[in-house]
Amino acid sequence: MTEAIIEPDLPIIDPHHHLWDLRPIIPVFPAPRHRFIETLVPAAYYTFDQFNEEVAGSGHNVVGTVFMECGAFYNAVYGDAKKVVGEVEFVNGVAAQSASGLYGTRRLCAGIVGHADLMLGAAVGEVLDALAAASPRFKGIRHAGAWDADPDVLGPPFAHPPERYLDAGFREGFSELGKRGMSFDAWILEPQLPDVIDLARAFPDTPICLDHCGTPLGSASYEGKLAERFDIWRANILELGKCENVMIKLGGLAMHNCAMPEQGQAAGIGSEELARLWQPYIETCIEAFGTKRGMFESNYPVDRWGATYPVLWNAFKRITSGASAEEKADLYAGNAARFYRVEHLLPSA
């Protein structure tokens, strides 16, 4: 779908996207594959060229981005615990490619969020130090905890053990982040929001960012239950917003799991309809966290299932049409720049 770009000059720092090569992995999943896997097949190979072309052709003023870990390009030579360093090394090379200026003025992957297994406890400190040594762009980690009793919600490749963020060993590892001034990205599903609240209260000095509005669910056993569960989600988001060390990413709602939209972009859904679907969630998050602790994200290429890159950002801009210039500057770039310490990307820097 082609749309006129809304506020094309508004600077954007996209704080959440992935790069990967899933081609060697996807064929090993038995048929019928989980629907979430099928939504990723069109973007099975998604690295610098694909993402740069998407951003450059969007018509939106994306000045820089932050890469989010996705288990890609691990290097087994480093051993099981440190193989994650390979992902940061790869993305650092992509960032250098972008920073060369040969591909435009935007700075892709100016910040890098990697992964480390916090279940290692205090021993994870050595892994965190290796990640930091791998790139000056490294900012922190994400250790996903997304889980549901219904295995069809995520599918085996994306499910994690239940109550991971409550585990004592995990929290021993989590404490190593604070010692190093590193941030943490949390990805869970809507019913798990109390786990993030508990974690944030236990570590009030460690900066945490909740991904994807807390991932409201509308697929599998949650199909048709978005309205039914909205008040539960809202109450937990408002409670989490009381934790001053937590920020929230405004996006991720175009994932298949959320069912907003149900049929994906192939149905020809434009930004006006997407804004209508997402507005109650985005506005609740801003109510809970304010305009100083929220940041819009693309979650690309995962959210490509529900929206093209230009349409996705148009939908966000429709939702914030009544915000002030200062509020938009924070929500679209400033907050991400401060949280991930990439202030040099801001136009005034």
| Tens-place pLDDT, residues 268-283 | 789 999 999 999 999 9
Which superfamily, per CATH, for 11-345?
Answer: Metal-dependent hydrolases (3.20.20.140)
Spatial CA neighbour of 187 closest among 151, 144, 140: 144
CA distance 132 to 155: 32
Is it the case that residue 289 has pLDDT exceeding 90? Answer: yes
Average pLDDT (22-39) is 70
| Higher pLDDT pick, 43 / 335 | 335
| Higher pLDDT pick, 189 / 31 | 189
Average pLDDT (131-158) is 92
Distances (CA, A) of 66 to 16, 25, 113, 124: 6, 25, 7, 23
The answer to whether 308 touches 269, Cβ cutoff 8 Å, is no
- Say how far residue 134 (Cα) sits from the centre of its chain: 22
According to the model, what pLDDT value does residue 1 have? Answer: 59
Distances (CA, A) of 161 to 54, 148, 188: 34, 9, 11
CA distance 141 to 123: 15
Burial of 348 (C-beta count, 10 Å sphere; 0-12/13-18/19+): exposed
Average pLDDT (211-216) is 98
Tell me the pLDDT band of 267, cut-offs 50, 70 and 90.
low
Is it the case that residue 32 has pLDDT exceeding 70? Answer: no
Is it the case that residue 30 has pLDDT exceeding 80? Answer: no
According to the model, what pLDDT value does residue 349 have? Answer: 61
Highest mean pLDDT among 148-152, 225-229, 265-269: 225-229
According to the model, what pLDDT value does residue 29 have? Answer: 66
- Supply 47's token pair: 């690295």
Tell me the pLDDT band of 322, cut-offs 50, 70 and 90.
very high
**At 158, phi and psi to the nearest 5?**
-115, -5
Under DSSP, is residue 67 helix (H, G, I), strand (E, B) or coil?
A: strand
The answer to whether 69 touches 19, Cβ cutoff 8 Å, is no
According to the model, what pLDDT value does residue 139 have? Answer: 98
According to the model, what pLDDT value does residue 326 have? Answer: 98
Average pLDDT (6-32) is 87
Is it the case that residue 31 has pLDDT exceeding 70? Answer: no
